[in-house]
Amino acid sequence: MSDPASPPDLSPELVAELEQLTESLAARPDHADLARKLEWLIDALILRGQLPPTFRKLATKIRGDRSTVRLAMFRDKYTVPSADIDCAERIPLCRARCCTFDVTLSPQDVAERKLPFEIDQPYMLPRDPDSRRCTCMDASGACTVYDHRPGACRAYDCRADDRVWIDFEARIPR
């Protein structure tokens, strides 16, 4: 059984396929939904440590002037496993940096109508204009919609994210 903390490397063939798929999508005028799925896949592989962060520039090649509507690709967010991290204990250190990241809602989130979003940023969790933090946080940094949080929040694992931690184990935040 493989160790989920260190996922296997991607083969050079798969990396080449991702690059070719990006080029093909960029050439199509009707690719917004497929482009979002590829962007999600690239982000997931980067967060798992299977692709270097430089692969994010692949997604920028296919954005263009296409649809601004973004939907996450989680089918059932309630089945998404969450990282075993005691966030409440770490919030005083990291100051909930992950709650300043863009979070895209899924069709399930929109249908449930439990999460807010703004009309000019369709299907994105809104952020406070001053703190840039998610508006679903209370004064202590706790999530007020935790039971209904999006799949992206459920799947996120900050341990290897250098935007949050210099050293997770030593509790040294960025």
Give a three-class secondary structure readout of 89-104: HHHHHHCCHHHHCCCE
The conformation of residue 66, written as its DSSP 8-state character, comes to S
30: tokens are 């009707």
**pLDDT score, position 122:** 76
Q: What is the mean pLDDT of residues 74-89?
A: 90
Residues 6+ apart with CB under 8 A from 11: none
> How many angstroms separate the CA atoms of 159 and 140, rounded?
21
Rounded to two decimals, the pTM is 0.61
Band of residue 169 on the pLDDT scale cut at 50, 70, 90: very high
The conformation of residue 51, written as its DSSP 8-state character, comes to S
Residue 137, sorted as left (phi over 0), alpha (psi -120 to 50) or beta, turns out to be beta
Contact 173, 94 (CB under 8 A): yes
**pLDDT score, position 109:** 92
**pLDDT score, position 64:** 54
Please state, rounded to an integer, the average pLDDT across all residues of the chain: 83
> How many angstroms separate the CA atoms of 166 and 12, rounded?
29
Percent of the chain having pLDDT more than 90? Answer: 36
> For residue range 118-159, what is the model confidence (pLDDT) as tens digits?
877 778 899 999 988 999 999 888 899 999 999 999 999 999
**pLDDT score, position 151:** 92
Contact 87, 93 (CB under 8 A): no
**pLDDT score, position 49:** 78
Token pair 């931690």: residue:
165
